[in-house]
Structure 1
Amino acid sequence: MFIFECRIRVRLNCDIMYPKIPEKITYFIDSILAKDYLDYHVSKEYKNYVHDMLWPIEGDGVYKQGKIYAFRIRTISQEMAEYFMEHLSYQQTKEFTGVSTDIKILPKKLLEKIYSITPIVIKNPEFGYWRGHMTVPEFEERLKINLIKKYRFFTGNELGDDFEFCNLMEFKNKKPIKLPYKNICLLGDKICFHVAPNPKAQMLAQLALGVGIGEGGSRGNGFMNYQYMQR
């Protein structure tokens, strides 16, 4: 499995407040998928890509009209990566104008840590945010099982669940992080996973880099950065 990382540079056509950035990036991406990948775009199945936020970060929370920013899309699909590269470099929405794109393939090395750049979200229709309803080990298992299901969906291979995914899971936020979503706010967490060195855990961690951890990767949730094992 290869992980393709596309860097998209955009010029802002208007000022945008920080909480609106994930929604506007998602719409920018969706605006091209709706043209050629409509069935895929509207389907409820797992999406094979994830995106992060605009960079550089604005300290005052206002992203400025006329300024050029960049964001990343990662995907496990070469076809999708090439499509993003071809079309986003000149796509225009009310908020963004595409400026340029470039691409790289992430090296395949033993991962020591993966850590979230954007909050990790799981949806529970019965009770919403997980704290107060699940223990930390149950939450960790939920994230692991979600990754296993994605692995099965994208590869067609069974992985089983009788292995350790991480040696340590560290929460980086002291309180839940609010994420505007349609007419509500979802709650998420920023987490660092110390990845176990066994082959199955490493495969799941690689997958997480390409499609995100948790739910809503195509909405900008669960985008992971990484640290390789030092030899």
Structure 2
Amino acid sequence: MVDELKLTILLKQSTHHLAIQEHIGNWLHRAQLSDEEFKASHYERAFKHIVFSSLIPIEKDGIYQQGRAYVLTIRSPLRDTLQRLKLCMQQCREDEHFQLVTSEIQRPKRMTHITEMLAITPVIVTVNRKPWLHENSVEQLLQQLHNNAVKKLLSLEPETQVEEGNHFIQGIRVENKKPIGLHYKGRKLLGNKLKLFINDDPQSQRLAQTVFASGLGEKGSSIGAGFCLAKYLV
């Protein structure tokens, strides 16, 4: 199950697209401090099961423009999380970068069978505490993405049995020639736009649905990394 919180926002400062994700994350986290459950879990090393998109429409020159309205999508497999977040955003309607105009929770079309996934925000994967780069092996990338997906699924469904050695990704393609650096706490986190081809078996489908809802890779709740679109069979 997956739900989306759609926010229409007014941008108060023109901002580069590589910096906007951090500003969005900071606004969301600041708003969450009004909720005791969010506040208590803020520093816990646990999956938040929230991932957010870039602002839509995307600007061709890479600069989001002051005074323009954009749509932000926040996705989660936990409807209660989005309902509480919606209330938080209504109490923290603006900061120095954004002003909230409208908010609405929607349920996207049900996906019965995912065939492909495309990350529209960079996917961040670390191997031995370093970012995965083009010169690293694809096998490492696949393994880290799979391991992360399994951990997210088990955090949602602890009783689920996951067969080892059965990766949910059949194939992968890196869409960018150079790593993409997203601003985060005074540094840049390097990530990549990825296209995934998903295996057909039930376990692979469940893992694909999990990362669609919770984000692919790392830093989904912090800077919206790994927000994906999915292609599926009806």
Same fold (TM over 0.5): yes
Distance, in Å, in 2 between the alignment partners of 1:125 and 1:179 is 20
Q: Residue 17 of structure 1 aligns with which residue?
A: 16
Percent identity at matched positions?
A: 26
Query: Structure 1 stretch 39-48 or stretch 139-148: which is displaced more?
Result: 39-48
Q: Alpha carbons of 1:17 and 1:131: their partners in 2 closer, same or farther (altered >3 Å)? A: closer
The answer to whether the 8 A contact 1:121-1:222 is kept is: yes
Distance, in Å, in 2 between the alignment partners of 1:142 and 1:227 is 22
The answer to whether the 8 A contact 2:125-2:141 is kept is: no
Q: Which sections of structure 2, spanning at least 5 residues, go unmatched?
A: none
How far residue 84 of structure 1 moved from its aligned partner, in angstroms, is 2.5
Distance, in Å, in 1 between the alignment partners of 2:188 and 2:45 is 20
How far residue 158 of structure 1 moved from its aligned partner, in angstroms, is 3.0
With the length of structure 1 as denominator, give the TM-score of the two structures: 0.92
Alignment of 1:1-231 (within 5 A): 2-36=1-35, 37-89=38-90, 91-106=93-108, 107-124=110-127, 126=129, 128-131=130-133, 134-156=136-158, 157-218=160-221, 219-229=223-233
Question: 1:172-212 CA distances to partner (integer Å, 9 max, x unpaired)?
Answer: 11111111211221111111111111000000110011110
How far residue 118 of structure 1 moved from its aligned partner, in angstroms, is 0.5
When the two structures are aligned, how many residues end up with a matched partner?
228
Question: 1:15-67 CA distances to partner (integer Å, 9 max, x unpaired)?
Answer: 22222200111011111112211121222211111001111112222222221
Q: Which sections of structure 1, spanning at least 5 residues, go unmatched?
A: none
Question: 1:152-177 CA distances to partner (integer Å, 9 max, x unpaired)?
Answer: 11211231323231221111111111
How far residue 220 of structure 1 moved from its aligned partner, in angstroms, is 0.9
Alignment RMSD, CA only?
A: 1.7
The answer to whether the 8 A contact 1:121-1:216 is kept is: yes
Distance, in Å, in 2 between the alignment partners of 1:208 and 1:115 is 11
Match of 1:42, SS state, is coil
